[in-house]
């Protein structure tokens, strides 16, 4: 018997060229899953794919350059995954845009850009995944949300999309009652990734003004999480360990946002 927790499974992981997406991809492959990884940049994505494929004893990887804002790209990701591995069992909606723009500095173009990536993107991917999951009555959907879904201390559009993603997770889980398809979310707290480091340095769109306004309402006792902590949470939800968990938002924050 294969001891790998995800042996024989195939996972699509969006936004998998750096940070948490890389940790998820490497962990899932180590646990036996074949992984189809997406990102907008080819060079970093190829490096992740090559590393996984050079590691013996796990699943294989393919990389697909794609933008979650594009319906055509989304459909192409699923088609390429089916061509490479023959099935899809797990979807992780990890791709997203972090930002710190205050509401009074948020114009329509930026607002729609972030919403289309952080909320409409996962909706597109879930819709495509269900075309595969519903006929076989099996599958796992994991949305990567944020503590900002309930503690909205970052940018106005970012926090709004993460709150909406939490609601979407529960709505999809309700739709899937009576099936063997599970939908849950992981809500990371402060996690050491390039995006988080840029955020603390005031280098994300919007700078650090919103952090100054919200600092009195946010508790940061530390320690910060590592990317693998979020990957472990996804592994729990994707494997048989999470078989009875549905419609939940699992917050992984080292107790910083209780």
- Structural domain including 241 reads 10-248
- Choose the catalytic residue: 18, 125, 158, 236: 158
Q: What are phi and psi of 210, to 5 degrees?
A: -65, -35
In a domain, residue 229? The reply is yes
**CA 118 – CA 104 distance, rounded (Å):** 20
158 is catalytic: yes
Provide the domain count of the chain. Answer: 1
CATH code, domain with 226: 3.40.50.720
In a domain, residue 42? The reply is yes
Q: Do you find a cis peptide bond into 223, omega within 30 degrees of 0?
A: yes
| Residue 208, number of CB atoms within 10 A of its CB | 15
Q: What is the chain's pLDDT, residue by residue, as a tens digit (258 residues)?
A: 578 999 999 999 999 999 999 999 999 999 999 999 999 999 999 999 999 999 999 999 999 999 999 999 999 999 999 999 999 999 999 999 999 999 999 999 999 999 999 999 999 999 999 999 999 999 999 999 999 999 999 999 999 999 999 999 999 999 999 999 999 999 999 999 998 899 888 999 999 999 888 888 876 667 899 999 999 999 999 999 999 999 999 999 999 988
In a domain, residue 57? The reply is yes
- What Rg value do the Cα atoms of the chain yield, rounded? 17
The pTM of the whole model exceeds 0.85? yes
């Amino acid at each position: 018997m294969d001891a790998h927790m995800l042996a024989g499974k195939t996972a699509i992981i969006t936004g998998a060229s750096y940070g948490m997406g890389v940790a998820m991809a490497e962990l899932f492959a180590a646990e036996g899953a074949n992984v189809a990884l997406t990102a907008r940049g080819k060079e970093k994505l190829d490096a992740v794919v090559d590393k996984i494929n050079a590691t013996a004893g796990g699943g294989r990887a393919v990389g697909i350059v794609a933008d979650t804002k594009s319906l055509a790209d989304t459909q192409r990701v699923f088609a390429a995954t089916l061509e490479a591995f023959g099935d899809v069992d797990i979807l992780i909606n990890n791709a997203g845009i972090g930002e710190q723009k205050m509401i009074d500095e948020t114009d329509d173009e930026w607002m729609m850009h972030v919403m289309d990536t952080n909320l409409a993107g996962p909706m597109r991917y879930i819709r495509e995944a269900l075309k595969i999951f519903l006929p076989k009555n099996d599958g796992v959907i994991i949305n990567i949300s944020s503590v900002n879904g309930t503690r909205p201390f970052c940018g106005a559009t970012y926090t709004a999309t993460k709150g909406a993603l939490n609601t979407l997770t529960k709505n999809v889980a309700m739709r899937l009652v009576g099936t063997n398809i599970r939908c849950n979310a992981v809500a990371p707290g402060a996690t050491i990734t390039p995006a988080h480091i840029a955020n603390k340095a005031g280098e994300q769109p919007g700078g650090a003004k919103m952090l100054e306004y919200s600092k009195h309402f946010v508790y940061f006792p530390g320690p910060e999480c590592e990317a693998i902590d979020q990957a472990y949470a996804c592994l729990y939800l994707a494997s048989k360990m999470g078989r009875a968990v549905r419609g939940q938002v699992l917050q992984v924050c080292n107790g910083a946002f209780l």
